[in-house]
Amino acid sequence: MSETAKAHGLDGTLVEPDWAPLTLAEVRTLLRQFPECGEPVEILNVSPRPFSAASVVAAGGRRVFLKRHHRTVRDRAGLLEEHRFLAHLHARGASVPLVYSAFSGETAIEIDDWTYELHEVPMGVDLYGDALSWTPFLTVSHARNAGEALARLHLAAEGFAAPRREPRALVASFTIFAAEDAGAEMDSYLRMRPALERYLRGRGSHNEALELLAPFHAQLLPLLPALRPLWTHNDLHASNLLWSDVSGNARATAIIDFGLTDRTNAVHDLAHAIERNIVEWLVLVEDPAHQDNVPVHLDHLEALLESYESVRTLSTEEAAALAPMTALCHAEFALSETDYFLNVLRSEEKAQMAEEGWLVGHARWFHCAQGEKLLDRLRRWAEMRERRIDGVQQ
């Protein structure tokens, strides 16, 4: 393992990666299978993302992005779910990476315990390449550009009719709070993940999360029928965008990293963008006893919402659903991360961080003054927006 390779840790520090970085010999062997690639080959960087091993590689006069997954995280079938969605987006003109096919025609290559995928590197600057999720945009302008990019993605995603993904590690699905009986759906979710079920049954934290989130689920329930199913990104953090330059007014040029994608709805995806970028959750990790010290960037929120609607107008029901969805959207991915730490990494220490810090901790936060302030701003935004629309129509 490279002595210099580091990954993003759960507490915001840089740590030794769980997955060994790609080696030059490994990369050369893989790239020989792809017609776009040739010698010389050079590894240009090592990604700090924690759930796989990935690098930008120079090969055959171009830069490509090679990613290696353990097959317990992504097997061939799992990657093809993502690749089919990316192909649809690409065909609709979305600025997303092209997935390369090997000489065999395959886009997901399985070798021993590993699954590989190769993407083009879209035009743009990786301005937030070292930024962790849950850290804010650098400027209001960046937030505005992210909102526009997400709306364009949602328009391009229309017409992709694949069913939701099979149960997999590290997917931001939307099933528990999409059901009328969230408790029964939670039980179903856990039954499909035996290691997670055993762990949580002994601790009861999933029941605590359900209780904390029940008021928001009750607010969302009458609006659910109006939320049309849509394949979505589910992780639109600033670091999953490429940018035109390094300035404060840089434009978003591409959206990358579709590993959390699934069939959810546009509001779920927009809520994730708010949750990922507007609330500085790492402050809560450092000081969980003082929930109201967590910064919330309401100026970025306003820019994100205004710019999203400049491209894709939300329905009345979608706008009203955004506040409760923002409180609910992270719960299912927190469960998925807990399962990953238990079932793949075999680390109860990391599982406890996801379970207590993110599943329950985030649910508690939405009941504190800062959390209520964010949700109240979203509710007032939806109400004011409706008044403006009524005024124009009159």
**What gap in Å lies between CA 143 and CA 105, rounded to an integer?**
38
**What gap in Å lies between CA 390 and CA 394, rounded to an integer?**
6
For β-strands 41-43 and 53-59, DSSP reports them as antiparallel
Share of the chain above pLDDT 70, in %: 95
Q: Is the pLDDT of residue 36 over 70?
A: yes
pLDDT for res 15: 72
Q: How confident is the model at residue 5 (pLDDT cuts 50, 70, 90)?
A: low
Q: What is the mean pLDDT of the chain?
A: 94
pLDDT for res 19: 94
Better-scored residue on pLDDT, 8 or 57? 57
DSSP 353: I
Q: Is the pLDDT of residue 14 over 80?
A: no
CA-CA distances (angstroms) from residue 243 to 135, 320, 362?
17, 31, 30
Which pTM does this prediction carry?
A: 0.94
Q: Residue 254: beta bridge partners?
A: 242
CA-CA distances (angstroms) from residue 307 to 251, 298, 302?
13, 14, 8
Cβ partners under 8 Å of residue 380, min gap 6 = none
- Rounded mean pLDDT, 132-141: 91
Residue 140 is encoded by which pair of tokens? Answer: 């209001």
Cβ partners under 8 Å of residue 12, min gap 6 = 132, 282, 285, 286
Residue 12 is encoded by which pair of tokens? Answer: 């915001």
Residue 228 is encoded by which pair of tokens? Answer: 């049309």
Better-scored residue on pLDDT, 153 or 133? 153
Q: What is the pLDDT of residues 298-322, one digit of tens each?
A: 999 999 999 999 999 999 999 999 9
pLDDT for res 132: 80
H-only helix segments in the chain? 24-31, 76-91, 140-157, 182-191, 194-201, 205-220, 266-277, 281-286, 298-311, 316-328, 331-343, 348-352, 361-365, 369-393
304, 274 contact by CB (below 8 A): yes
Buried b (16+ CB within 10 A) or exposed e, 45-84: ebbbbbbbbbbbbebbeeebbbbbbbeebbbbebbbbbbe
Q: Is the pLDDT of residue 390 over 70?
A: no
Q: Is the pLDDT of residue 243 over 50?
A: yes
Q: How confident is the model at residue 186 (pLDDT cuts 50, 70, 90)?
A: very high
Q: Is the pLDDT of residue 3 over 80?
A: no
Q: What is the pLDDT of residues 61-72, one digit of tens each?
A: 899 999 999 999
Instruction: Please name each of the domains of the chain with its CATH number.
Output: 7-120 (3.30.200.20), 140-393 (3.90.1200.10)
Of 13-27, 29-43, 139-153, least confident by mean pLDDT is 13-27
